[in-house]
Each structure stands twice: as C-alpha cells, then as structure tokens.
Structure 1
Amino acid sequence: MKSRTKRGLIIVAGLATLAVVSTLVLNAFQDNLVFFFSPSQVATKEAPADRSFRLGGLVEEGSVKRSSDSLAVQFVVTDGAKAIPVTYNGLLPDMFREGKGVVTQGRLDSSGTFHADQVLAKHDENYTPKEVADTLKTTAYKEPSAAEARQ
C-alpha cells in the first residue's frame, strides 16, 4: 500500500473511533440527566412519565405520615398552587421538616403519587430552588418563619 492510502485509512479509522466514543459518552450523559420540576409543572404534565426526575417544593404542614413498623413515610410537596403526594422508604435527612424546602428524586406513577428514591432537604434558611421560589411568589404562599417552624 502506498503511504497516502495508509494515511487515509488511519484518518478514517480515527474518525470512526471518535464517533463511537462520542456516541457512548452522549448516551451515558443522557441516561444520567435528571430534570427538576415544581408540583405545578408536574400537575400540568410537563414532567416525563417514563423517566426519573426531581420534584421540589415545600413539605406541606400536617402532611407527614410515618409508618410505625418500617422506614416508609408519606408527605405532600407543594409550591403553593399544586400539591403532589410523595412516598419514600428510607431515612430522611435531619433537616427534613414540615413547611421547609425539599427536593425529591424518583418517578411519578399513574395515580399521581411520586415515589421518591432520594430525599434532599434544604440546608439553610436562604435556599429555595429558583423554580419553586418563582411559583411561590406568584401564588402568594407564605413560608413559615424560623420561629413558626420551631413551634
């Protein structure tokens, strides 16, 4: 073979390898991509029905129900306009409280209940996800103050 032909084959093989590697990386990225939705967005069917996603909002006051014989817990996440029931089986973060911000990751079932695989509580008084804060402002929902939450 001529050196020109060898060089052409090496370039074509390199491009093919680059295309395969790029495809594998993008597929792995797509599989691990998780979007965030507020309860209002979930209620309007903006959230994917066939994929895991994150649901964020405030834990509705008086909605937490713990199982006496397991780690199962049920609560409601709200953004002031809509509320979504959530079930979770596991240990909750120490900062998890009624009236406080929470982000859950999991899937929505056909009945409208969100089955969480992971629950994340907000870590300080100043953090609320932007989407949730925007929705809370439009619905005039008042988050309890720190003094009210301690009671």
Structure 2
Amino acid sequence: MNPRRKKRLLFASVLIGGVAAIASLLLFALNSNLDLFFTPTEVVQGREETGLMPEVGQRIRVGGMVVEGSVDRDPNSLKIAFDIADSGPAITVLYDGMLPDLFREGQGIVAQGTLIEPHVLEASEVLAKHDENYMPPEIAEAMGESHNKMEYSKGSY
C-alpha cells in the first residue's frame, strides 16, 4: 500500500472513530437527562404495552390527581407528603418546597423527581394544572372517564 492510501485510510479511520465517540457521548448525555412520564398505576404495575417498570433511583415524572384527605404538611417546615392516583393504585409524593398556588386535594398535578421506594417519589418539582378544563393529554388518556366522573361529582370550584 502506498503512503498516500495509508494517510487516507488513517484519516478516514480517525474521522469515523471521532464521529462514533461524539455520537455515543451525545446519546449518553441525552439518556441521563431523560425523564419518562408515568401514571401512578404504571409506577406500581408497569406499562402493559412495553413492560417498562420504573426502577428505584430513576428520575421520572408522575401525573395524577391528589387524593382527598392525603395531604400531610409538616408545621415546622415546607415539607409535604401527599398521595396521587389515577383510576388505579396511588403513590406517595414527598416534596420540600413551595407548592403552586393551584395545588389542592382533587387537583391534577405532575410531579417530577426520583423514585426512592417502589411506591414513593421524592419530588424536585410539582406542577399544578392551570385551570379546571385543562389536563395534559397523557394524564387525560391514562385516566379516561374516571377524571370526568370526579369533576362532575364535586361540582365546580
């Protein structure tokens, strides 16, 4: 093989290796910042269609309705614990911080955080829906008719 071909082969090899390294680092960075969305039922039972089950220590987002009578506030700090549920089982959310003004029992919320036990989420952020008529599509689809029944049984706020 002549020297010119060796240089071209070396250049092509380095170029392909560099692109592969950059692509792998990019995928690793994107994967570590990925927060998957689950409903409380999917956290407890896993997703039926994919069999995907969140693991303890994984960062996730969970959306559902705050269960009536489940809000437990610490009087000496901003710590709060509450349960959220969809049409199935509930999970407990622990949060230390200021809650949104629209947060209340029976309210639809999305909590983002780390799963510290199979049924306990330590939230770093809690978002409340902005009005009575809005619900994120993922939650609305997961909850189906159960949300509509809850809204009509409570009346308007």
Instruction: Note if 1:50 corresponds to 2:57.
Output: yes
Give the SS at the match of 1:13: helix
C-alpha distance after superposition, 1:11-34 (max 9, x if no partner): 111111111111100000110111
Moved more, 121-130 or 34-43: 121-130
User: What is the match of residue 82 of structure 1?
Assistant: 89
C-alpha distance after superposition, 1:72-100 (max 9, x if no partner): 01111010321111110011112222211
8 Å Cα contact 1:61/1:99 also seen in 2: yes
TM-score, normalised to structure 1, is 0.85
Distance of 1:50 and 1:131 partners within structure 2: 23
Gaps of 5+ in 1: none
User: What is the match of residue 11 of structure 1?
Assistant: 12
Moved more, 111-120 or 79-88: 111-120
Distance of 1:8 and 1:111 partners within structure 2: 52
| Residues 109 and 50 of structure 1: CA distance in aligned 2, closer, same or farther (over 3 Å) | closer
TM-superposed CA distance for 1:53, in Å, is 0.8
C-alpha distance after superposition, 1:62-119 (max 9, x if no partner): 2222211101011110103211111100111122222111111122333622211111
Aligned match for 1:137, one of 114, 134, 144: 144
8 Å Cα contact 2:87/2:146 also seen in 1: yes
8 Å Cα contact 1:99/1:149 also seen in 2: no
8 Å Cα contact 2:55/2:118 also seen in 1: no
TM-superposed CA distance for 1:137, in Å, is 2.2
User: What is the match of residue 36 of structure 1?
Assistant: 37
Instruction: Note if 1:92 corresponds to 2:99.
Output: yes
| Residues 50 and 109 of structure 1: CA distance in aligned 2, closer, same or farther (over 3 Å) | closer
Distance of 2:102 and 2:4 partners within structure 1: 67
| Residues 83 and 91 of structure 1: CA distance in aligned 2, closer, same or farther (over 3 Å) | same
Instruction: Note if 1:65 corresponds to 2:72.
Output: yes
Moved more, 81-90 or 21-30: 81-90
Give the SS at the match of 2:10: helix
1:7 maps to a residue whose letter is R
Give the SS at the match of 2:149: coil
TM-superposed CA distance for 1:36, in Å, is 0.8
| Residues 123 and 28 of structure 1: CA distance in aligned 2, closer, same or farther (over 3 Å) | same
Report how many aligned residue pairs link the two structures.
Answer: 149
8 Å Cα contact 2:67/2:83 also seen in 1: yes
TM-superposed CA distance for 1:48, in Å, is 2.4
8 Å Cα contact 1:107/1:114 also seen in 2: yes
User: What is the match of residue 49 of structure 2?
Assistant: none
